[in-house]
């Protein structure tokens, strides 16, 4: 099961574009193959990831960071999905990364694709993986199969952003009072498959830690993520040249598999894996196998469709 190490000391890099600081950290062997992990929504650099011992066995140097407004990273109000490439360029420069891979989970998926499409990064990125990602706003069937809570939140981005912000503030306040608050809300929308994954005590601890850290300086990253995901990403998916693995649980109701099916049609280098019987949170135990592929040690697994 994917869990993070308990201790976490961030490093900081300053974005050249605006002078704001981005918090990041590295795990695993210093000479391992570098992979940048982009967390979900809400989330932080502390989000579920393999333990250090697993990363050593995989030969992966995992780099995680807080998107602006989350955790210890300063907010960039009005950011779009494409802005993630600026963050990753700054971190890659700080760590002197010439070639590396990227992976994004859930709300981090679009941001990983933004890095892969970025003119200054796409020739440096070797492979890309997106797990249970959303598709761009306007994709056919965007709301099809989505649970009621996510449908309402995402709909409010366009119809009532003020009420959306108020709701996110209420949820963030609930997390501060009780770290289990958000998991309780999400549980009401979970499929049996998701309930099975989240029943793991170690994973639940890591999710609580990630959610609490995400909003410790305010709910701004969460708010800005939702706005960015439902507006124009400013990302040209057809510009991606690296191999892309698009993975999705067929029973996902938080970001239904129709989103990944759309992404795979738009990205010329993509291979789609829709896993029957899996759902949204199955992306977490799927991560180690994905990291092995990102390091170039295995081919894309045999693909499945619903």
Name the pTM for this structure.
0.94
Phi (first) and psi of residue 42, to 5 degrees:
-75, 165
- In which region does residue 91 sit, left (phi positive, over 0), alpha (psi from -120 to 50) or beta (all else)? alpha
- Residues 297/104, Cβ–Cβ less than 8 Å: no
Q: Kindly state whether residue 2 falls inside one of the protein's structural domains.
A: no
Residue 300 pLDDT level (bands cut at 50, 70, 90): low
Q: Is the pLDDT of residue 202 over 80?
A: yes
Q: Kindly state whether residue 301 falls inside one of the protein's structural domains.
A: no
Residue 298 pLDDT level (bands cut at 50, 70, 90): low
Domain count, the chain: 1
Q: What is the CATH number of the domain that holds 221?
A: 3.40.50.1820
Q: Kindly state whether residue 304 falls inside one of the protein's structural domains.
A: no
Report the pLDDT value the prediction gives residue 67, as an integer from 0 to 100.
98
- In which region does residue 200 sit, left (phi positive, over 0), alpha (psi from -120 to 50) or beta (all else)? beta
Containing domain of residue 263, as a range?
11-294
Q: Kindly state whether residue 126 falls inside one of the protein's structural domains.
A: yes
pLDDT digits (tens, 9 = 90+) for 99-138: 999 999 999 999 999 999 999 999 999 999 999 999 999 8
Report the pLDDT value the prediction gives residue 17, as an integer from 0 to 100.
82
Q: Kindly state whether residue 137 falls inside one of the protein's structural domains.
A: yes
Tokens coding 11: 């490093």
Q: Is the pLDDT of residue 301 over 60?
A: no
Q: Kindly state whether residue 302 falls inside one of the protein's structural domains.
A: no
Q: Kindly state whether residue 208 falls inside one of the protein's structural domains.
A: yes
As a whole number, mean pLDDT of residues 24-38 equals: 97
Q: Kindly state whether residue 5 falls inside one of the protein's structural domains.
A: no
């Amino acid at each position: 099961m994917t869990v993070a190490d308990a201790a976490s000391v961030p490093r900081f890099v300053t974005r050249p574009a605006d002078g704001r600081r981005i918090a990041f950290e590295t795990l695993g062997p210093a000479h391992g193959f570098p992979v940048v992990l982009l967390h979900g929504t809400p989330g932080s650099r502390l989000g579920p990831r393999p333990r250090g011992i697993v990363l050593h066995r995989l030969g992966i140097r995992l780099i995680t960071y807080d998107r602006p407004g989350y955790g210890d990273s300063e907010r960039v109000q009005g950011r779009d999905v494409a802005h993630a490439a600026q963050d990753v360029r700054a971190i890659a420069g700080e760590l002197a990364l010439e070639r590396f891979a990227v992976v994004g989970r859930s709300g981090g998926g679009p941001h990983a694709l933004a890095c892969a499409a970025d003119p200054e990064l796409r020739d440096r990125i070797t492979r890309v993986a997106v797990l249970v990602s959303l598709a761009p706003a306007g994709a056919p069937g965007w709301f099809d199969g989505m649970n009621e809570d996510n449908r309402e939140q995402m709909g409010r981005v366009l119809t009532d952003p003020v009420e959306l912000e108020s709701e996110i503030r209420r949820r963030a306040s609930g997390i501060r009072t009780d770290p289990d608050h958000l998991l309780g809300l999400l549980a009401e929308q979970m499929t049996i498959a998701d309930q099975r994954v989240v029943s793991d005590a170690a994973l639940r601890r890591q999710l609580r830690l990630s959610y609490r850290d995400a909003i410790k300086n305010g709910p701004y990253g969460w708010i800005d993520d939702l706005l960015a995901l439902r507006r124009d990403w400013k990302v040209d998916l057809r510009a991606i040249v690296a191999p892309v693995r698009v993975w999705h649980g067929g029973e996902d109701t938080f970001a239904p598999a129709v989103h990944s099916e759309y992404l795979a049609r738009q990205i010329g280098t993509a291979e789609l894996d829709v896993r029957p019987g899996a759902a949204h949170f199955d992306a977490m135990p799927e991560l180690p196998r994905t990291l092995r592929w990102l390091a170039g040690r295995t081919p894309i697994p045999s693909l499945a469709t619903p």
